[in-house]
Amino acid sequence: MSSGDATSDKPLLRSFGRRRGRKLSPRQDTLMKDVLPRLSLDISAPLPGDPHQLFEANVSEIWLEIGFGGAEHLLWQAQAHPDVGLIGAEPFEDGVVKALDGIATNGLKNVRLHADDVRPLLSWLAPATLTRAFVLFPDPWPKRRHAKRRLVSAALMAELARVVKPGGELRLGTDIASYAGEMLLAVRRDGHFCWTASEPSDWRVRPADWPQTRYEAKARREGRTPSFFRLQRSMVNA
């Protein structure tokens, strides 16, 4: 992935399915029409020289969650870390509405949203913008013919390596064993991130500052064991 991907005539292969689910309630429709435009990042405009200025709150660092789903994790992190600016990227309208509701209800000033494919957003961000990034339980695309649509790939890892600061952290989560293997293979091939695990509990036990999402809860109900990977961006380019 390169900075040209955001403007290329060749369409990106979608890593997500449908964009809309159930019909919006009047309140949800109002949130989408009135609140989302205020919180959305305008990636058609130049990125501010100081990206911390993207946030209404005074923030000291910036984190990104890719595919925040029901927004449980995004909102928890925003409330737990008011000095951190959270960018949430999610193309599915139901998830965006949940995030907007939580932001409005809790009066959060440190969250911005990108209600679309994350890849043009990544291309827009300057190098070493992020201190932390999350890709938690992305769509597994379980059918073999759809596997090429899985988001975590060598291309994504290369772009995350560009925008995550040296020493920064990347967290990956999945409950699909084959996808867990692909994630680690993509990490190894890219070479910019180091898996910090030293014992099985490091990836089998969810850290205390990693709140459970509905996708993890569903996986456990259905008998699948999640993996929680914490990776550190190397201090020098590989």
pLDDT in tens, 223-232: 999 999 999 9
Residue 17, domain member (yes or no): yes
Residue 131, domain member (yes or no): yes
CB burial class (10 A; 0-12, 13-18, 19+) of residue 20?
Answer: exposed
Range of the domain at 146: 3-233
CATH for 17 = 3.40.50.150
d(CA 118, CA 106): 25
Helix (H, G, I), strand (E, B) or coil at 8: coil
Burial 42-72 (b: 16+ CB within 10 A, else e): ebeeeeeeebeebbeeebeebbbbbbbbbbb
The tally of domains found in the chain comes to: 1
Per-residue model confidence as pLDDT tens for the chain (238 residues): 333 334 344 445 444 444 555 777 888 888 999 999 999 999 999 999 999 999 999 999 999 999 999 999 999 999 999 999 999 999 999 999 999 999 999 999 999 999 999 999 999 999 999 999 999 999 885 656 556 778 999 899 999 999 999 999 999 999 999 999 999 999 999 999 999 999 999 999 999 999 999 889 999 999 999 999 999 999 876 5
d(CA 73, CA 172): 13
pLDDT digits (tens, 9 = 90+) for 97-110: 999 999 999 999 99
Residue 198, domain member (yes or no): yes
Record the pTM: 0.88
CB 202 within 8 A of CB 232: no
CB 127 within 8 A of CB 205: no
The total number of residues shown for the chain amounts to 238
Residues with active-site annotation: 139
Residue 238, domain member (yes or no): no
